Amino acid sequence: MMRTNDGFHFAYNAQAVVDEGSQVIVATKVTQGATDVNELIPMIEETTTSLKGANITRSPRVLLADAGYCSQANLTHIGESNINALIATGRMKHNE
């Protein structure tokens, strides 16, 4: 059950990591977590596992994520992992 603007619904939250250049999906995950904030670190790990499984030795150069993934824990993990990341820290209203 996920809380939505109009009550609670049976729903899932899907995550995907996509290579920008080739538009190929390199990692996926479906959860029952209502927010994305707890999914960033597991998706980084899933991407690493997926690339190793495909015998790809290069690592992604840049991680791009929207504000739903921004938290102090995620920013700390990224800083300690030396990942080049661009994560939105907040949302802007339309026409701002």
The pLDDT value given to residue 2: 78
Is pLDDT at 30 greater than 90 in this prediction? yes
Please report, for residues 12, 55, 86, the alpha-carbon distance to residue 36 in angstroms, rounded to integers and kept in the order given. Answer: 11, 28, 16
Which comes out higher in pLDDT, residue 8 or 51? 51
Which comes out higher in pLDDT, residue 43 or 5? 43
Strand partners, 16: 28
Q: What is the pLDDT of residues 33-73, one digit of tens each?
A: 888 999 999 999 999 999 999 999 988 889 999 999 999 99
Which comes out higher in pLDDT, residue 21 or 96? 21
Is pLDDT at 96 greater than 80 in this prediction? no
Question: Which are the contacts of 39, defined by CB distance < 8 A and separation ≥ 6?
Answer: 13, 15, 29, 31, 33, 69
